[in-house]
Amino acid sequence: MTTTLAVANQKGGVAKTTSVASLGAALVELGHSVLLVDLDPQACLTFSLGIDPEDLETSVHHVLTRGVDAADVIISTEDGVALLPATIELARAEADLLTRTGREHVVKGVIEDLGDTYDWVILDCPPSLGVLTVAALTAADGVLVPLQCETLSHRGVGQLLDTVHDVRRFTNRDLEVWGVLPTLYDGRTNHARTVLDTISETYDLEVVEPPIPKTIKFAEAPAAGRSILATSRNSKGAKAYREAAANLVLRSQRPRSRQTTKR
Ligand code: ADP
Ligand code: MG
């Protein structure tokens, strides 16, 4: 059984991509097979795993809009995760898909075609609530929302949850919100915890523990083409992602909630 997780937040810079790369590497350490899908035309995930998009002849764009077989495009990375890479061409996919019937289901179709090859498929969403994010949510079993715990960070959460609600209503009634992952977390202040508690209460969201600490080590990892789990094995950040990944494994084993399985 494949568990498909969308990592989404329309705000940029909240550590979506860093979380996808780090959780992917942590799940590989736990013995799981993992496919990461770069759904952001900026291709930051692809870059950060050591692949230069300019060197690629085919990418996720060809899979989503031209019917190219994902298995022919997926590459293996030094981190041990498989990657369906993106290039800037993906920016056109939004427009190309806009007029396409069934566009919300394109990512789901790709994952279904892969059968049970992977234990986990993790989708790195772009910083918008456009076609690609909706297609990712349509394909997902769960959505994880990285959140930087600052005073104004809740402003987009309601909008994201509205989109999740629409997806549940129209394209994926089984989608579950797995919760927020606190990122860029400054544990020295009470402020971050207060913001986190307020957001989780206001929107009735679970918090996936532990918060990922803000540390300079993260700036170094992408340049090395590896996740922080390899570049700073014993750093607080790497340990936090390992623990969060173990909690996601437990979350994936939880029976589905009544609310979302009700037909
Ligand atoms: P997003 O995908 O949401 O736009 P990124 O994962 O690209 O966000 O992260 C944005 C920036 O923050 C990157 O430069 C990344 O290296 C940095 N970053 C991510 N997590 C941390 C952290 N825990 N501590 C310090 N810097 C971080
Ligand atoms: Mg990103």
Domain boundaries, the chain: 3-251
User: Would you state the pLDDT for residue 149?
Assistant: 84
Phi/psi at 176 (5° precision) = -115, 145
Name the residue of 45, 218, 241, 242 whose CB sits within 8 Å of the most ligand 1 atoms, as the mutation to test its pocket: 218
* Predicted ipTM beyond 0.95: yes
Contacting residues for 132 by C-beta, under 8 A, at least 6 apart: 39, 40, 90, 93, 94, 97, 107, 125, 126
User: Would you state the pLDDT for residue 94?
Assistant: 86
User: Would you state the pLDDT for residue 259?
Assistant: 52
187 pocket-lining for ligand 1 (C-beta < 6 Å):
no
Helix runs in the chain, H state only: 16-29, 44-48, 60-66, 90-98, 106-113, 131-139, 157-170, 190-202, 217-224, 228-231, 236-253, 258-261
The residues pairing with 75 across neighbouring beta strands, listed in sequence order, are 83
CA of 18 from ligand 2 middle (Å) equals 7
What is the CATH class of 3-251?
A: alpha beta
Which amino acid, one-letter code, is at 175? L
185 pocket-lining for ligand 1 (C-beta < 6 Å):
no
CA of 240 from ligand 1 middle (Å) equals 14
CA atoms within 13 A on the CB side of 67: 1
Starting at the edge strand that comes first in sequence, how are the strands of the sheet with 176-183 ordered?
75-76, 82-84, 34-38, 120-124, 3-7, 142-148, 176-183
Q: 233 burial class (0-12, 13-18, 19+ CB within 10 angstroms)?
A: exposed
Ligand number nearest CA of 45 is: 2
**Which pairs with CB-CB distance under 8 Å and at least 24 residues apart come from 189-192?**
191/149, 191/151, 192/149, 192/150
Compute the distance between CA of residue 183 and CA of residue 148 in angstroms, rounded to an integer. Answer: 5
C-alpha dihedral sign at 63, 66, 71, 77: negative
The residues pairing with 180 across neighbouring beta strands, listed in sequence order, are 145, 207
Q: Does residue 15 contact residue 145 with C-beta atoms inside 8 Å?
A: no
Q: Does residue 171 contact residue 105 with C-beta atoms inside 8 Å?
A: yes
DSSP state letter for 149 = -
Between CA 231 and CA 241, with CA 236 as vertex, the angle to 5 degrees is 80
Ligand number nearest CA of 232 is: 1
Q: Which residues of the chain have pLDDT under 50?
A: 260-263
User: Would you state the pLDDT for residue 263?
Assistant: 35
